[in-house]
Amino acid sequence: MRDEEPTVTLIISAHNEEKVIKEKLDNSLSLDYPGKKLEIIVASDGSTDMTNGIVSSFAGRGVILHSYNRMGKTGIQNESVKKAHGEILVFSDANAMYRRDAIRKLVRNFADETVGCVSGQLVYRRRDDCAAGESEGCYWKYEKYLKEKESALSSLLGVNGSIYAVRKEDYVHIDNKLISDFVEPLEIVRGGKRVVYEREAVSEEEPSVSYDKELRRKIRILTRSIRGLLHMKSLLNPFKYGIFSVQLFIHKACRYLVPFFLATSAVCLLALTGRPLYFVLFCLMITSLALAAVARLFADVAPGNKVLKVVNLIYYYFLVNYAVTLAWVNVMRGSEITVWTTDRKGAAH
């Protein structure tokens, strides 16, 4: 792409976001990108609160409202792309606040014609009063490390749903039941383009405020992600997709199978407790479960405690794998999770 400042359409997905949508639009209008080349669309997914009214009040500043009947994030993105005029599509969430140069940093990657999609970096704002958010932040640091390495090796396996960009000509309209920030980049890879990570394009969000809310969020995301991987299973063919298929198998397929590995390991250790080494490993497993139980009991008492931080990470590990297990149950039952709900704490961030 020769133009260093291509036209961009920012598509903001929203459902009942009256607490944060004004701040998000103020944030979007203050971005360091030429106003004449930046189209801002809010895709409202059946909002029943004041979201649509607040967005409409920004019409004089160029913000466009597309209000849809409830169909889920992927569906409203598909429909909004049809109405977008930008060469580059940037997808965002209502609670994601961009740093001023975020879009400029995203689009610079499209100077490489082999790039079809770019993921920015999601940063969780620090919360010392929230053990769930603290654990989530630690996990996300590890995830970002993997994203950087995957991008350098071949291509990203998924993008940050709150900040990613796609060439409009490369965008693939996917089924509304699939998770867009995982399946869309996979479709782009299947189409022969690369998906890269831009760590300097930053979006900031508040972390989850409790383990219960984090569990519900994980179940929803993982159910759709597992279904997405099954839908895109052809990419697991290493003879056609080379190292990318190996990355996909190790990072995603194996991760989704961890609960089965853990259950098998537990049964084997129990059967082998008569041998000293396996007895020690079995005791370590029981200790880990006990520590996770302690973390659950004291998570809201002293989330900033350094000792409990380690224990909280153990609990978070088991919580995530419990969520994976329930997600597999949803998939095997044929349960579909197309829409999402918001649970914003207090006023706008």
Q: Give me the pLDDT at residue 347, please.
A: 35
Phi and psi angles of residue 283, each rounded to the nearest 5 degrees, phi first: -65, -40
pTM: 0.88
Residue 304 has pLDDT above 70, yes or no: no
Q: What's the CA angle centered on 142, arms 217 and 108, to 5 degrees?
A: 90
In the numeric block, which tokens belong to residue 274? 């008569």
Helix, strand, coil share (%) of the chain residues, nearest 5:
55, 15, 30
CA distance 317 to 320: 5
pLDDT-derived band at 306 (thresholds 50, 70, 90) equals low
Structure tokens that stand for 5 in this block: 């400042």
- DSSP, collapsed to helix, strand or coil, labels residue 299 as coil
- pLDDT (average), residues 214-230: 92
- Does residue 301 carry a pLDDT above 60? no
Cβ atoms 279, 273 nearer than 8 A: yes
How confident is the model at residue 157, as a pLDDT?
Answer: 92
Closest by alpha carbon to 330, among 211, 207, 177? 177
Residue 213 · residue 201 · CB < 8 Å = no
Q: Which of 15-24, 83-92, 270-279 has the lowest mean pLDDT?
A: 270-279
Burial (0-12, 13-18, 19+ Cβ within 10 Å), 277: exposed
CA distance 94 to 14: 6
Least confident span in 63-67, 222-226, 332-336: 332-336
> pLDDT exceeding 90 applies to what percent of the chain?
69
* pLDDT confidence of residue 335: 83
Average pLDDT, the chain: 89
Sheet holding 88-93: strands in order across?
Answer: 63-68, 38-45, 8-14, 88-93, 163-167, 115-124, 194-205, 97-98
Q: What are phi and psi of 315, to 5 degrees?
A: -65, -45
Span 49-79, pLDDT tens digits: 999 999 999 999 999 999 999 999 999 999 9
Percent pLDDT > 70 in the chain is 89
Written as one string, the DSSP assignment of 48-111 is -SSHHHHHHTTGGGTEEEEEE-S--HHHHHHHHHHH---SEEEEEETT-EEPTTHHHHHHGGGG
The 10s digit of each residue's pLDDT in 109-148 is 999 999 999 999 998 876 555 566 667 777 778 888 889 9
Res 307 pLDDT > 80: no
CA–CA dist 96, 205 (Å, integer):
5
Strands 115-124 and 194-205 come out as parallel
As given in the structure block, the two tokens for residue 73 are 């994030």
Q: Looking at residues 93-106, what average pLDDT do you find?
A: 96
Which domains can be identified in the chain, with CATH numbers? 8-248 (3.90.550.10), 256-333 (no CATH)
Question: Which residue in this structure is represented by tokens 């397929």?
Answer: 253
What are 138-141's contacts with CB under 8 Å, separation 24+? 138/313, 138/316, 139/316, 139/320
Banded pLDDT at 298 (limits 50, 70, 90): low
Residue 289 has pLDDT above 90, yes or no: no
CB 289 within 8 A of CB 315: no
pLDDT attached to residue 300: 53
The whole-angstrom separation of Cα 257 and Cα 13 is 31
